[in-house]
Amino acid sequence: METLKYKAIVTGPKEYLKDGILVEDFEITEEDVLEVIEEDESSEDVIDYLIEEYCATWEQRWCKVTLMTEEEFEKMKKS
């Protein structure tokens, strides 16, 4: 499996985000998947779970997360 690379655009209260917005890299590696996969799960299920957990971490702080592939992020920047 190739490492999945995303740009996370996080928006939320200044108590958690100094400028109200943060753009950071979020990656899922094969090692990440292997750490949590169980016998009856597919890699896709685990990837969905890891994405949900990442977003939930921010949402617990009243923030909103938008994940984009690096290609989608570059297209958005050019628009």
Q: For every one of its 79 residues, what pLDDT tens digit does the chain have, with 9 covering 90 and above?
A: 899 999 999 999 998 899 999 999 999 999 999 999 999 999 999 999 999 999 999 999 999 999 999 999 999 888 8
- 65, exposed or middle or buried, with CB in 10 Å at 0-12, 13-18, 19+? buried
pLDDT score of 28 = 98
Helix or strand or coil: residue 5? strand
Q: How far is CA 6 from CA 11, 13, 40, 48, 67, in A?
A: 16, 22, 26, 13, 6
pLDDT score of 16 = 87
pLDDT score of 54 = 98
pLDDT score of 79 = 83
